[in-house]
Amino acid sequence: MLTGGGYPFRRDALSGWCRTLVEGLRRFRFDLLTVTDREPPVLPAYPLPFNVTSADALQIGRAQIGRALGRERRRGNSNETGRGAAHLLCRGLVEQSRFAIGLRGLAELATERPDPLTNVPLADLLADAWRDGSPSDDEPPLPRLSTRDARTAATLLKHALGALAVPLPKSDLVHCIGGTTPLLTALAGRWQSGIPLLLTEARAPVARQRPAEERLSPAVRAVLRRFRAAVARTGYAEAGLIAPLSAYHHGWALRHGAAAARLVQVPAGVDPSEYPVTAEPGAGHPAVVWAGSGGPDSGLTQLLAAFEQVAAAQPGTVLHLVGVTPAHEDHCAEQIERTGLGRAVRLHPLPADPRDRYTVGHVVAHVPGPADPPYRLIEAMMSGRAVVGVDVGPAAETLGDAGVLVQPDDPAELAIAIVDLLRAPTRRRQLGDAARRRALTHFTTDRVVRVYGALYADLTGPPPAPASAFELALTIPAPRTSPPATLRWLIREDR
């Protein structure tokens, strides 16, 4: 199982989902690898079950790349192979057909040298490709890429491509979960050893612009956006199966080149026993719960803007921010100080016991970041709390009519919906009960574990004999096997 800075070393919603899968699939042995560009953690944040063979966190470090550069320079190697592959990769940022060939060339070269881009003038190649390339008619014109922009973009690309040199443990299958960085490592492993690849689409990576990138020029941002889109398209082409979490993620994958025959939609799920229904807090101040990391890309800004209006309309209301990570505590405190809300906002780390996550609130405000998967929303629904959600990503299809949905970027509408529920205890309980029923019907872990176990078996085993295949209508997408199409992973789905 391959992630980007996540399970088992970080406690967040996506890591919790990974933990559920690993612990539920006891008949499979797992090597856990998380690839990050930060300082890797020393110890896992979760206890490891007996079916985990290894758990490692590897950093794409500049120090390692620098040592590799020093060795290569001493060899005096001009690295024509790397230059040719980089040329195709840079051209592929403008003309899509060339990117995968160049990326594969660099991945194969990474088996011979730690840095396949040693002595490659990547900034010059990028500038040439950007100047001479012509995007398709349905794309906007490329912004001007200056010499300085080309150098900045080349530095960022070179760092990202360091993921190609991360070695994978020997295994029968790579399950890559979200993000450009782990996908680059997974693609390199697939090309180097032919290992099957299962790709879980947990977020929408192509559209995501990280907050730190706002300071970059429009041209550099365009290069990064095209690079991530090209990596995603290459992952779709190479994966044996793609498992999006929702119809939203399913549609996103289709629009960015995924073949319908490889898509198997597997909604997220939580364990109902970990999120039992509990009574609302007793007499006292009304309370709102929001669960998230608290980072710049977590939806916190919109939530605080709405809560200023909630506090004015319903004095004494308390906002509980649950799951704020230590890395983002300062950012949260700074944002809260700007609003002047003071003690009306309280920060909590992620509780070790999920039962304590939503019990402090009367209403849950689901205000996610632009690319957040719907795990926290499903947790809140399973807890039987009334939910006010913002209509981004898969929120609408997940919540259905079991909660209140408001438009994004409208703090006033969000505040009105929260205040209305705080003042209507009967409707609040009705929505909470409906949310619990919906979660029990559609979003439980037993279903997730059963389907993923079958997907693992389908990718690692030989194609089934025609006599044992289940022929299904063509309107249902099928996994990797050619005609006759088989969907062994759907057997017993109705039980």
**Average pLDDT per consecutive 10 residues, the chain (495 residues; last block may be shorter):** 90 85 95 88 89 93 46 59 95 90 94 87 94 76 92 94 92 92 94 93 62 83 92 94 91 89 91 91 88 85 95 94 87 90 88 83 90 87 95 92 94 96 95 96 93 92 58 44 36 40
164 neighbors 107 (Cβ within 8 angstroms): yes
pLDDT of residue 455: 94
- Residues 370 and 49: their CA atoms lie apart, in Å, by 33
Q: d(Cα 393, Cα 398) in Å, to the nearest integer?
A: 10
Distance of CA 395 to the CA centre of its chain: 15
The two three-digit tokens of residue 232, written as one number: 């995603």
**pLDDT in the model for residue 77:** 57
**20: Cβ contacts below 8 Å, ≥ 6 apart:** 269, 270, 271, 445, 448, 449
Can you give the pLDDT at residue 482? 37
Global confidence as pTM = 0.85
DSSP for 282-320, written as a single string? -SSS-EEEEES--STTTTHHHHHHHHHHHHHHSTT-EEE
- What is the structure's pLDDT at 171? 93
The pLDDT of residue 494 is 41
